[in-house]
Structure 1
Amino acid sequence: MIERKLLGTGNIPGGGGELKLWSRALKGGDEFSIMLGGTELMNSRKSGSEEALATLACEQILSGANPRLLIGGLGMGFTLRAALPLLPDDAVIVVAELVPAVVDWARGPMAELYGGSLEDPRVNIRLEDVAASINVADAGYDAILLDVDNGPDGLTHTGNEAIYSHAGLKAARRALRTNGVLAVWSSAPDPGFTRRLKECGFAVREAKARAHGKRGGHHVIWLATK
């Protein structure tokens, strides 16, 4: 049994609990894990579906000039890193992260995972709830990518459920330009969420992506087009 090392803790604003960053020294490099209680939210060796979130969304918006993206949740940076090489030099990527400790870890013990992506001139990190960024956008984004929880069930922060409500989805639709896409990651299917997206006026496509290469469980990505 390889011993884990606790690298840091961070409170989720609004009484959502405490995140813990753990590491293990494995062959090929350190493994990082972000936990909430006994639930693993993120693992540095399971990045496939988070990368697919960026790839699938960018495929739908690259026909336009000066693309603007909003990423909800920095996490371990997999979505951001996957998006950057797909986007032109005039792109703007706003990343809204609710938990300050996550950004500190990204610039500290996990810096190697991010590969310098936080220093890319196209990237703007905001320490705020992604809902706040959405509410002031006013048709300002070509894509909104949401990976702010385990999906629409609001596991880590009950306030996240509002983002996935009818009101939250309508706000996201207003924040998108014409033909813009709302891309949402989830650990599991949710037929009720698919229905809400359609009720809010989106054209919806569901995709599945592996957590790690050809292995691991399937995660779900909704691509909802305005």
Structure 2
Amino acid sequence: MAKLSEIDTAAIPGGRGHLRLLQRDDEFSIRIAGKPGELMNTRLHGSEDALAELACARVAAHPAVRVLVGGLGMGFTLAAALKSLPAQAEVVVAELVPGVVEWNRGPLGAAAGYPINDPRCRIIVDDVVAVLEQHPGAFDAIMLDVDNGPEGLTRKDNDRLYNAKGLQTIQEALRPEGVVAVWSAGMDPAFSERLKRAGLCVEEHTVRAHRPGKGARHTIWLGW
């Protein structure tokens, strides 16, 4: 089998290194330059789909539903959200790395069906924390696939999204009866407790990276 070949890189704002985009035929991989392993792969997106499906199932019937996806990635969470929501919904995506948006406008976007071209989608190139702070009481659901989960990997600054102050900012950005969903590469009992201390009711779901029932086990928290 041919090796994945690097086709582009994208700087992570704040001087925190680069992301690498690799391709082999119709398979794409995103990795952090200088670090082993990969952040995501177009063959393995079951848990990214589940992030949107679990959150949107709770709010799809809300009038004029509006949701936020934190982290565009390869577009699978966005695509699943659009499939789960009605025609009048709005899906806002906050993506920190401009290059990731451009990758999704290019050949990478085909894997998820180019969801960023859906008229219900609006892309904001900014830190998701800033977007949350600028939109109090704006979202029925907030779906966060930022970094590797509650423990920052690509940017330690991401910790401020998942600490007590960050959780307060998230709650303030939710509409009544809203829900937050958080993706993680693994379990984190301390984060479950942090959500509860923030006053949220919490569900913890174990989902597989590749459906049906295959691949690594990832964790999704729902809080409301």
The TM-score range, normalised by the shorter chain, is over 0.9
Q: How far apart are 1:17 and its partner, in Å?
A: 1.4
| 1:16–1:158 CA contact under 8 A, matched in 2 | no
Give me the TM-score of the superposition, normalised by structure 1.
0.95
**Can you list the C-alpha shifts for 1:63-108, whole angstroms capped at 9, x where unaligned?**
3111110000000001011111211111111000000110111111
SS at match of 1:39: coil
Q: Which residue of 2 aligns with 1:157?
A: 155
Structure 1 residue 23 and structure 2 residue 23: aligned?
yes
Deviates further, 167-176 or 14-23: 14-23
Q: Deviations over 1:17-40 (max 9, x none)?
A: 110000112xxxx11000012230
Pair 1:62-2:49 in alignment: no
Kindly report which structure 2 residues correspond to 1:131-142, keeping only aligned pairs within 5 A, or say none: 131-142=129-140
- The AA in structure 2 aligned to 1:33 is S
2:38 pairs with one of 40, 47, 54: 40
1:195 Cα deviation (Å)? 0.8
Residue 2 (structure 2) pairs with residue 2 (structure 1): yes
For residues 163 and 208 of structure 1, what CA distance do their matches in structure 2 show? 22
After superposition, the CA RMSD in angstroms is 1.0
Q: Give TM-score scaled by structure 2 length.
A: 0.96
Alpha-carbon distance in structure 2 between the residues aligned to 1:142 and 1:157: 27
Task: Report the 3-state secondary structure (helix = DSSP H, G, I; strand = E; otherwise coil) of the residue aligned with 1:159.
Answer: helix
SS in 2 for 1:40: coil
The answer for unaligned runs of 5 or more in structure 1 is: none
Identical-residue share of aligned pairs (%):
50
How big is the shift at 1:119? 1.4
1:113 matched to which residue of 2? 111
Alignment match, 1:200: 198
Deviations 1:35-78 (A, max 9, x none): 01223000000000000000000111123111110000000001
CA distance in structure 2 between the partners assigned to 1:216 and 1:16 by the alignment? 29
2:217 maps to which residue? Answer: 218
- In the superposition, relative to structure 1, how do residues 72 and 180 fare at CA in structure 2: closer, same or farther (>3 Å)? same
Post-superposition shift, 1:11? Answer: 1.0
CA contact (8 A) 2:138 2:173 kept: yes
Runs of 4+ in 1 over 2 A off after TM superposition: none
Q: Which residue identity does 2:220 align to in structure 1?
A: I
